Amino acid sequence: MARGISLNRRTFLISTSGAAAGVAATGLAGTGAHAQDGALPEYAAWKDPDALIVHTDRTLETRREAIGAPPITPARELFVRNNLPTPPLSATDDPDVWEIAFEGVASPATMTLGELKRYGVTSTPAVLQCSGNGRAFFDHEASGTQWSVGAAGNVVWTGVPLARVVEAMGGAAAEARFLTGTGGEDLPPGIDPLTILVERSVPIEALDDALLAYEMNGEPLPIAHGGPVRLVVPGYFGVNNVKYVRRIALTPAESEAKIQRTSYRIRPVGVEGDPSQPSMWTMTVKSWITAPLHEPSSGAVVIQGVAMGGASALSSVEVSTDGGETWQAAELTGPDMGRFAWRPFALVTTLEPGRYTVASRATNADGDEQPRDFDPNERGYGHNGWDAHAVELTVS
Ligand SMILES: Nc1nc2c(c(=O)[nH]1)N[C@H]1C(S)=C(S)[C@@H](COP(=O)(O)O)O[C@H]1N2
Ligand SMILES: [Mo]
């Protein structure tokens, strides 16, 4: 990667803190409806406008400076990514009447959320991260929302363990290989439903950790995040966590919906999506700096960030202040909330006046280390390269 380009890119990203400037400067114009003056859309009016960048009325990003201080991301600060308009806000008025159809089990059935709650309850802290988080750090101008680091959050999901429901329905059908979830949006007429339907399939092994979540961070799940109930697949990229889920199927094949067949596929720049390419399923090891982002004074400086292991537990984080020439072990400061959660980290160091390139590099329990660079791919998915995520600091 051309280092000069990535340096300019990060300096630029940190300085454009205004939402309007961010939208204009990243070339997003024309890719979707734009919220007026960066105002929050109605379904998210309760969110904290100061913590969010409003890219469009369907894509809200948490500001880098808002991430990391609390180990759990408050709902008011969590990013939003909608492919379609949400169901009516009234859908969460009485969550227990929401129905989900179960197929691909020995005894298929449709049940309300109220009935499903009888199968038990579990809480799983897990990172929710969009596949396109970090897209802005690629140099090939991948189309789509120019997320930097804030299309991610650490959330405590509470809901029904899906494996128990499947067990109660007699288990998975013999030929089942995938867990498929279908979103509950009303689809506009006149368009082939498969081109817009949010329906995702993940390998059936994911059933072990999956839940039908109806609370986040101890509060009822709002429409903005998939209420009344959403499929949560811990360790898997955001798109697999189907909101307002209305159908769960254990299927022999992956969904025929475009969002599964050809979208969310990793392929070289310029190549079309194809079902043979890797799907955005399990997440990878990743970390980034969240503070300081602006000129600190010389002396003792507390460098902070967040780190996640991806599909396996986080094991360690290192920090560099010289662009990766030398590294020091950081402390994991927040509580260990399990292998699917992220953890804040910190390094206290002394900085003299001067210019610094501050980077972080995480390693997970499988021994996967965050790479320096991440190969460009057509849609700009999955960036976890530490170099592009570094921040430039001038210490005065
Ligand atoms: N039904 C439905 N589920 C969905 C989506 C959607 O548009 N509709 N977007 C997906 C994508 S791409 C992401 S990144 C996450 C975003 O979750 P959030 O909006 O709660 O942050 O939801 C996923 N689940
Ligand atoms: Mo996403």
105 alpha carbon to ligand 1 midpoint, in Å? 25
Distance CA 364, CA 105 (A): 35
CATH code at 1-282: 3.90.420.10
pLDDT of residue 31: 36
17: helix, strand or coil: coil
pLDDT of residue 55: 97
CATH fold of the domain at 286-395: Immunoglobulin-like (2.60.40)
Ion ligand 2: residues, CB within 5 A, are 81, 130, 238-239
- pLDDT values of the chain reduced to their tens digit, one per residue, 396 residues: 333 334 334 443 443 333 333 333 333 333 334 444 579 999 999 999 999 999 999 999 999 999 977 899 999 999 999 999 999 999 999 999 999 999 999 999 999 999 999 999 999 999 999 999 999 999 999 999 999 999 999 999 999 999 999 999 999 999 999 999 999 999 999 999 999 999 999 999 999 999 999 999 999 999 999 999 999 999 999 999 999 999 999 999 999 999 999 999 999 999 999 999 999 999 999 999 999 999 999 999 999 999 999 989 999 999 999 999 999 999 999 899 999 999 999 999 999 999 999 999 999 999 999 999 999 999 999 999 999 999 999 999
Contact 92, 223 (CB under 8 A): yes
Residue owning the nearest CA to atom 10 of ligand 1: 239
pLDDT of residue 69: 73
391 alpha carbon to ligand 1 midpoint, in Å? 28
Question: 306 pairs with which residues across the strands?
Answer: 288, 344
Let me know if the fold of 1-282 is the same as that of 286-395: no
Question: Pocket of ligand 1, candidates 237, 243, 246, 379: which has the most ligand atoms within 8 Å of its Cβ, to mutate?
Answer: 243
Pocket, ligand 1, Cβ cutoff 6 A: 78-84, 128, 130, 183, 185, 198, 225-226, 238-239, 241-244
Distances from the Cα of 115 to the Cα of 22, 49, 165, angstroms: 45, 37, 10
350 alpha carbon to ligand 2 midpoint, in Å? 38
Ligand 1 atom at minimum distance from 245 CA: 1
Of 6, 1, 134, which is closest to residue 392 (Cα–Cα)?
6
Q: Where are the domains of the chain?
A: 1-282, 286-395
Q: Which tokens is 255 given?
A: 């969904």
